[in-house]
Structure 1
Amino acid sequence: MSVRTLAIALLILGAILPIIGLQAGSPVGFIGPVLLLLGAILLWTRKRHGR
């Protein structure tokens, strides 16, 4: 798994978790924005360093 694939997976999971958390009444929804941020940082740093 490449870093780009991991970052995209984190973005997708980060977008889905808040929806599941709201429906289930679970605190798992708070993890979603953190995963979105982590995925965005991974993609941004990868583009910045040109690898």
Structure 2
Amino acid sequence: MTVRTFAIALLILGALLPIIGWWASSPVAFVGPALLLLGALLLWTRGQHGR
């Protein structure tokens, strides 16, 4: 798994967790934005310093 695929997986998971958390009334919805931010940060830093 490359960093790019990992970052994309984090973005997808981060987008789904608020929906699942809202549907299930679970606090997992608060983790979604953090994963979105982490995935975007990974893609941004990889774009600047990657090969």
Is TM (by shorter chain) over 0.5? Answer: yes
The aligned counterpart of 2:2 is 2
Separation in 1, partners of 2:47, 2:34:
20
State the TM-score, normalized to the length of structure 1: 0.97
Give the aligned residue type for 2:29: G
Q: Distance in 2 between matches of 1:15 and 1:40?
A: 12
Matches within 5 A, 1:8-19: 8-19=8-19
- TM-score normalised by L of structure 2: 0.97
Percent identity between matched residues is: 76
Gaps (5+ residues) in structure 2?
none
CA RMSD after TM alignment: 0.6
Q: How many residues align?
A: 51
Segments of structure 1 that go 5 or more residues without pairing to the other structure are none
Report 1:12-51 matches (<5 A): 12-51=12-51
